[in-house]
Amino acid sequence: MNRPNPRGLPALVLLSMLAAGLVLPLAGCPQARTDSTYADTARYRYEQGMEAFEDENYLEAVKHFTFVKSKFAYSKYAALSELRIADSFFAQEKFIEAIDAYRLFMRGRPNHREVPYAMWRIAEANFEQIPSDFVLFPPAHEKDQGATREAISAYQQYVERFPGDRHVPEAQRRILEGRRALADYELYVARFYLRDDRNVSARGRLETVVEQFGDVKDRWAEGAWMLVKVYDALDRRADALATARRIIDTLPACDEADDARGFLRKHGG
C-alpha cells in the first residue's frame, strides 16, 4: 500500500505539479534568450553588411541588409538596412534604383529620424544624373535638362521641410548651380534662334531668363542685354529702353549695365 506524501497529496498529483513546475521555468528562459539572440543576430548581420559595404562589395552588402530587413523587421537594424540598400545602389551609380529605395524607406517610415538623410540623398541622386561636359559630347547646356529640374525640385523640398538640417547650405548651392544650368540652356537656345534670324523665338527664351532667373545674376544680366538688342531688332523700342533701365537699376556695376547706358544715350532714353 502506497504511503501518502507529507502534505497528503497523491503521488500522481504531486508528480504532475512537479512536472508543471519544471515546465514553467523552461517556458520562460528560452524566451529571454530568443529576444537577446534576435537583437544580437540582427546587429551581427547588419555589421557584416557594413563591412562588405566599406569594402565596396555591394552585392554582398545588399545580401546582408536584405536578410536583416526581411527576417528582423521589428529590429532597429531593419530600418538602417533599408537605407544602406539605397546607399549601396547609390555607390554603384544606380541612381534610379537608389531613389526608389530611399522613397520606399520614407513611405514606410515617415517619422524616422533618418528621413532628412533620405531626402538629401534623393536630391543628390538626381543631381548626379545632370548632364556634364565632356570633350566628345555637346556641352551640358545643349542637353535635355529634365534631370536638372528634378534635382532642383528635390533639393527645394528638402530645404523647405528640414531648414535646419546639416546639408542645407550645400543644397542651396546645388539649387543655384542647377538654376545656372537651366539659364545656360535658355541662353543657348536663344543664340541658336538668333543665328537663324529667328528673333521672335529668341525673344521668348530671353524673356524667360529675365523673368525667372534673377537669382543667377550673371546669366540674368547677359540675357537681359541680349533681350534689349532683340527688342530693338523687332522695332519694340519702348521695351528695349525699359529693359535697359532695368539692367542699370538691378545690377548697376555689371558690364551689361555700361552697355545699357550707352544704348540709352544713343536712343535718347
What's the distance, CA 215 to chain centroid? 22
Whether pTM > 0.85 for this model: the answer is no
Report the alpha-carbon distance of residue 94 to residue 120 in Å, rounded.
16
CB-CB contact of 129 with 95 (8 Å): yes
One digit per residue, the tens of pLDDT, for the chain of length 269 reads 444 444 444 444 433 443 444 343 333 433 333 466 888 999 999 999 999 999 999 999 999 999 999 999 999 999 999 999 999 999 999 999 999 999 999 999 999 999 999 999 999 999 999 876 533 344 544 556 788 999 999 999 999 999 999 999 999 999 999 999 999 999 999 999 999 999 999 999 999 999 999 999 999 999 999 999 999 999 999 999 999 999 999 999 999 999 999 999 999 76
Report the alpha-carbon distance of residue 46 to residue 78 in Å, rounded.
9
- Using a pLDDT cut of 70, give the percent of the chain over it: 81
* φ/ψ of residue 187, rounded to 5: -65, -40
DSSP labels, the chain? -PPPPTTS--HHHHHHHHHHHHHHHHHHHHHHHHHHHHHHHHHHHHHHHHHHHHTT-HHHHHHHHHHHHHH-TTSHHHHHHHHHHHHHHHHTT-HHHHHHHHHHHHHH-TT-TTHHHHHHHHHHHHHTTS----TTS--GGGS--HHHHHHHHHHHHHHHH-TTSTTHHHHHHHHHHHHHHHHHHHHHHHHHHHHTT-HHHHHHHHHHHHHH-TTSHHHHHHHHHHHHHHHHHTT-HHHHHHHHHHHHHH-TTSHHHHHHHHHHHHTT-
- What b/e string do you get for 42-73 counting C-beta neighbours within 10 Å, with b at 16 or more? bbebbebbbebbeeeebebbbebbbbbbeebe
Q: What is the pLDDT of residue 144?
A: 61
Report the alpha-carbon distance of residue 202 to residue 193 in Å, rounded.
5
Q: Summarize pLDDT for 93-152 with one digit per residue, the tens.
A: 999 999 999 999 999 999 999 999 999 999 999 999 987 653 334 454 455 678 899 999
Q: What is the pLDDT of residue 87?
A: 98
